[in-house]
Amino acid sequence: MNMGRAHWLYLAPALLLLGVFLVYPSAETIRLSFYGPRSDTFVGVQNYVRAFTSRPMLIAFRNNLLWLGVFTLFTVGMGLVLAVLLDRVRYEAVIKSVIFLPMAISYVAAGVIWRFVYAFRPAVAPQIGLLNAIVVGLGGQPVGWLIQRPWVNNIALIVVGVWVWTGFCMVIISAAYKGIPREMQEAARIDGANEWQVFRHVTIPFLKSTLAVVTTTMIVFVLKVFDIVYMMTNGAYDTDVIANRMYNEMFQFSNYGMASAIAVILFLAIVPFLVLNVRRFRVQEAVR
Amino acid sequence: MMKRWLVGLLLAGLVAGLAQGAVTIMVLWSGDELAAFQKVVDAFQARTGIAVRVESVGRDLPTILATRVAAGNPPDLAGMPNPGQMAEFVARGALIPVDGLVDLTQFPTAFVDLATVGGKVYGIFISADLKSLVWYNPDALYAEGLAPATSWNELVYITRELANRGKTPWAVGFESGAASGWPGTDWIEDIMLRTAGPELYDKWVAHEIPWTHPAVKRAFELFGSIVRNNAYVYGGTTGVLSINFGDSPAVLWDPVPGAYLHRQATFIKSFIAGAHPQLDLDQDVGFFVFPPIDPQWGTPLLGAGDLISAFRDTPEVRAFLQYLASPDAQAIWCGALGKLATNVNVDPGIYPDRLTAQAAEILKGAEIFRFDASDLMPAAVGSGAFWKGVLDYVSGVPLDRVLQDIEAAARAAY
């Protein structure tokens, strides 16, 4: 056995698996995206043109951007705030567990649970939805949380995502926060810095790379968001997102070309963040 | 022990081998429907000795069936997703005509016509659902001094009259999970049949007229004149969009009725009975046919049905088809499920209650019967843009934009 070739032998199983389960399907998806609904007629870039011009798709893009901004801001932001504040609380472990708990629930189940929270009943009937029961209890009129567009229903869906993912962000950031040498913060306080300045100039710089990794992870997730939207509205009332469009084109409408084109677009949108994430990760590893 | 096990295995193999010469039928039913169909199959087997293998494939039937047909390996018979899909199989030369195999004089012409392609009949409706019904609570309606409507103007009068008295006339619910919006398409189809007539309806189904056509627009507007009016529907438009289609009619039978009228197909009876188990279906629940609008089109009926077609012509398949078309088979199937028989010779006594028998009687007298349009359209329109369009329209999106959106989806799909 020539040592120059041996590494290929060891790589072979992994390469084979990657080829069969990743490279081939990706290439096939790209090829199908240039074909018609039944993959039998070549249509050129027609699917892509439709994907970037039809109103339902444009609304889906808009919503994905909304998800991207609001969801990422709140999961990472609240994760950071909770990690720092809970560090000083005696029941830290208990509270963190409670906040982390939704992670253990599947998104489909989360969707079902929150459909009950948002449920609407006419004002003349008893409210069965928690949120509307509170609103009516305070003397208001019941609100169609999942129906009122353009912002109420989209934010209502994003809240479900935030509820599920904040705990995850909090746990990761908390681990990094506990790794900051306490002497640093002490030194800053002795130098006369107030709490905000300590947080701003000592804590944040130390957490920078962790925050970046958590943020890119959230972005990759949010671009692929599907289950929550499918379960709760199936994209009605302008709440559609790219992944749900793809699912419907594929499994509801049997339009393989369009579904493949949307899959390729989604893939291309995610790649830059993946590259960023991997680079960040390498930098972090090198520091250690 | 081992030996006995082996013998068992061999016997099982032998039985399976014998069953190869029998009949296979692919259906999408599950639960009660599958159990009822199995009863039909068992009766056939007891009568003829011909074994029938039922393949239940669930909601993926259209995909699986299309794949099997394309591969040249179809089942002997199959339930068709809808007449449109049946016509596609006919175009590919996959189905056998049933004229001459089955006595078609036992069926109303409407159902024979629905299964006719190019002058030949390619399928049998073993049962039907009637959609053009308005349900009401007789006690509540008569207490208001009102009676079932026999024309659209009367229906509008009842609606206004109740609203003027501070009551809510209609209970409407379009929520149905990922399929939300479908009950609204039935409303529009019923109105379209009554305002534009069956010929234009067929053109609309085939996308020979655009969704922006004045006739389609008018049907939407008439629908909107009731369902988009917050004073006419229980819970306002938000209620319409939030309330599940199955829960929706229950308020008609509340101690203080939440609403008085509910438009829905025959199957809703079981939901009403489920919500109010104490009701006597023969006394406390009534329906009338969705009334005519434009007198020249009279009272067409909208419905759906279970259509069976055959891919292979063997003596066994012929025998099974003949049995499925017979009053005996339909009595088992419809008696168990409360569906409506299509064979005119079925004894009305088989129905579980007076309401179902009454619906069957209405169906028997159908002069014009049309299949649910959204079921006939390509899925991207009939199970996509049309559903969403109804929801958009009710939630306040301008009608022109709604129709343009559906038209855009239709242009890409047809």
A256-287 and A204-223 helices, crossing angle to 10°: 160
What pLDDT, on a 0 to 100 scale, did the predictor assign at position B19?
A: 45
CA geometry: angle at A256 spanning A44 and A112, to 5°?
135
**What is the distance between the alpha carbons of residues B75 and B64, in angstroms, rounded to a whole number?**
11
- Inside any domain, residue A198: yes
In a domain, A6, yes or no: no
Contacts of B163 by beta carbon, 8 Å cutoff, 6+ apart: B169, B229, B231, B232
Q: Which two tokens stand for residue A149?
A: 């567009």
C-alpha distance from A121 to closest chain B C-alpha (Å): 7
Architecture of the domain made up of B23-129+304-360: 3-Layer(aba) Sandwich (3.40)
Cβ burial A212-221 (10 Å sphere, 16+ → b, else e): bbbbbbbbbb
Residue B222 to residue B404: CA distance in whole angstroms: 18
State how many domains chain A has. Answer: 1
What Å distances lie between residue A189 and A156, A176, A182, A183, CA to CA?
Answer: 41, 21, 11, 10
Residue pLDDT, tens place only, A8-55:
999 999 999 999 999 999 999 999 999 998 888 999 999 999 999 999
The pLDDT value recorded for residue B21 is 56
Arithmetic mean of pLDDT over chain A: 92
Query: By the CB < 8 Å criterion, does B170 face chain A?
Result: no
Please tell me which residue of chain B has the smallest CA distance to A56: B405
How high is the pLDDT of residue B3? 54
Q: Choosing among B172, B211, B238, which should be mutated to test the A contact, i.e. which has the most A CBs within 10 A?
A: B238
CA distance B43 to B154: 48
For the segment B152-206, what is each residue's pLDDT rounded down to a tens digit? 999 999 999 999 999 999 999 999 988 899 999 999 999 999 999 999 999 999 9
Asked whether residue A236 is assigned to any structural domain, the reply reads: yes
Give, in order, the Cα–Cα distances in Å from A172 to each of A76, A84, A88, A215: 10, 12, 17, 11
pTM of the model: 0.88
- Two structure tokens written together for A211: 């925050």
Please give the C-alpha separations between residue A111 and each of A131, A152, A158, A217, B267, in angstroms, as whole numbers. 15, 16, 11, 21, 28
Residue A103's domain spans which residues? 25-287
Q: What is the pLDDT of residue B58?
A: 85
d(CA B289, CA B265): 10
Query: Strand B23-27 vs strand B77-80: parallel, antiparallel, or unpaired?
Result: parallel
Residue A252 lies in a domain: yes
- What are the b/e assignments for B140-179, b being 16+ CB within 10 Å? bbeeeebebbeebeebbebbeebbeeebbbbbbbbbeebe
User: Is A16 part of a structural domain of the chain?
Assistant: no
Q: Does the distance separating the beta carbons of A234 and B178 come in below 8 Å?
A: yes
Task: Provide the residue count of chain B.
Answer: 414
**B235 to chain A: closest CA residue:** A122
Exposure string of A160-186, with b = 16+ CB inside 10 Å and e = fewer, is bbbbbbbbbbbbbbbebbeeeeeeebe
Question: What are the pLDDT digits (tens) for A159-215?
Answer: 999 999 999 999 999 999 999 998 988 999 999 989 899 999 999 999 998 999 899
pLDDT of residue B11: 46
Helix, strand, coil percent content, chain A, rounded in steps of 5 = 75, 0, 25
pLDDT tens string A69-107: 999 999 999 999 999 999 989 999 999 999 999 999 998
CB-CB neighbors (< 8 A) of A252 in chain B: 379-380, 383-384
The answer to whether position A17 is within a domain reads: no
Contact status of B242 with chain A (Cβ, < 8 Å): yes
pLDDT of the residue at B99: 93
Q: Is the pLDDT of residue A224 over 50?
A: yes
Q: How far apart are the C-alpha atoms of B49 and B404, rounded to whole Å?
A: 56
Please name the CATH architecture into which domain B133-299+377-412 falls. 3-Layer(aba) Sandwich (3.40)
Q: Is residue A267 a part of any domain in this protein?
A: yes
Residue with tokens 């819970």: B235
Chain B residues in contact with A229 by the CB 8 A cut-off are: none
- What's the half-sphere exposure (Cβ side, CA atoms, 13 Å) at A60? 29
Q: What is the mean pLDDT of residues A232-243?
A: 95
Query: Rounded to a whole number, what is the distance in Å from the CA of B396 to chain A's nearest CA?
Result: 10
Say how many C-beta atoms besides its own lie within 10 A of residue B101's C-beta.
18
What is the reported pLDDT for B178?
86
| Residue A246: strand, helix, or coil | helix
Say which residues have a Cβ less than 8 Å from residue B315's Cβ, sequence separation at least 6: none
Interface size A-B, in CB pairs within 8 Å, comes to 71
- Which residue numbers in chain B have pLDDT < 50? 1, 7, 9-20
CATH number of the domain that A262 lies in?
Answer: 1.10.3720.10
Within chain B, all domains assigned CATH 3.40.190.10 are found at 23-129+304-360, 133-299+377-412
Residue A191 within a domain = yes
- As a whole number of angstroms, the distance between CA B65 and CA B307 comes to 14
CB contact under 8 A, A144 and B238: yes
Interface test mutation site (partner A, options B182, B233, B391, B395, max chain A beta carbons within 10 A): B395
Residue B176 carries which DSSP code? Answer: B
